[in-house]
Amino acid sequence: MVSVNGPVGVERTEDEREALDELLDIRQSIDNIDAALVHLLAERFKFTQQVGRLKAAHGLPPADPDRERAQIHRLRSLAEESRLDPAFAEKFLNFIVAEVIHHHEQIAATSPTAD
């Protein structure tokens, strides 16, 4: 359920009502996008957990600076194409990768094959 803040007990003008209707409509689209984002992130972490187990089983280091540089470069250029701020795309990837490395360290710490 979406909610809109505003002064209580104040009568709204026609113009304000239209603006609030528009706001609720846009928020519904944002909620749909957020559901898609959550489901994609869940799938992404399933894949990175797989990577973590693979790396732990073969003694590969959790972080991979070359791979991260390639990802940053690719995401910045995808962001430019889709008119997303490339700096934000990079910040977003760093945010995700920090969580992934945290997961990988946990896997390495509990895996009998990791050193």
Binding residues (CB under 8 A) for its own copies: these are 1-6, 15-16, 19, 22-23, 26-27, 29-31, 33-48, 50-51, 54-55, 57-58, 60-61, 64-67, 70-71, 74-75, 78-79, 82-85, 88-89, 92-93, 95, 99
Let me know how many helices (H) and strands (E) the chain has, helices first: 3, 0
Q: Is 53 helix (H, G, I), strand (E, B) or coil?
A: helix
CB of 76 closer than 8 Å to CB of 90? yes
Cα 107 to the chain's mean position, in Å?
Answer: 21
For its own copies, the closer CB: 46 or 109: 46
User: Nearest approach, Cβ of 22 to its own copies (angstroms)?
Assistant: 6
**Minimum distance, C-beta of residue 101 to its own copies, in the bound complex (Å):** 13
Report, in Å, the least distance between residue 97 CB and its own copies. 11
The helix (H) or strand (E) run that includes residue 82 is none
Residue nearer to its own copies on the CB measure, 9 or 61 = 61
